[in-house]
Amino acid sequence: MKRFWSVIASIPRSLLSVLDWLVSVAERLLVLGFAWAALYLGYKVLRGFDSDRNKEIFGTVTDNWKAVLILFLVPLFYRTMRGFLERARKIAGIEAEPEETEEDENPAA
């Protein structure tokens, strides 16, 4: 197990920052895709379904809305939860250290 953590610790910070950037881009694309899908389905509901395929898509989404919601929420809040867990001191008590702000790092003289 020590070997695993030593490999993880040796990953360069630049690679981690690139991965963090990719996650932030994926979050934005996910939000745009979700907004487009919601607007598209809303438009189809207001205009009326013109094909059996559209009825099938809408039926699938309405039947499985909980799974769809989880598939969108987990990636959307990944960075938020990761940041919280990195600051957590107690796991069972869910107690976290306060976030550092720029004001904390650069005190006024």
68-96, pLDDT tens digit by residue? 778 777 777 777 777 777 777 666 566 66
Q: What is the mean pLDDT of the chain?
A: 75
Domain that holds residue 74: 23-97
pTM: 0.51
Predicted confidence at residue 94, as pLDDT, reads: 63
Burial 7-38 (b: 16+ CB within 10 A, else e): eeeeeeeeeeeeeeeeeeeebeeeeeebeeee
Predicted confidence at residue 109, as pLDDT, reads: 46
Whether residue 68 lies inside any domain: the answer is: yes
Whether residue 102 lies inside any domain: the answer is: no
Which residue has better confidence, 60 or 109?
60
Whether residue 17 lies inside any domain: the answer is: no
Query: To which H or E segment does residue 103 belong?
Result: helix 102-105
Our count of domains for the chain comes to 1
Whether residue 107 lies inside any domain: the answer is: no
Whether residue 61 lies inside any domain: the answer is: yes
Q: What percent of the chain has pLDDT over 70?
A: 74
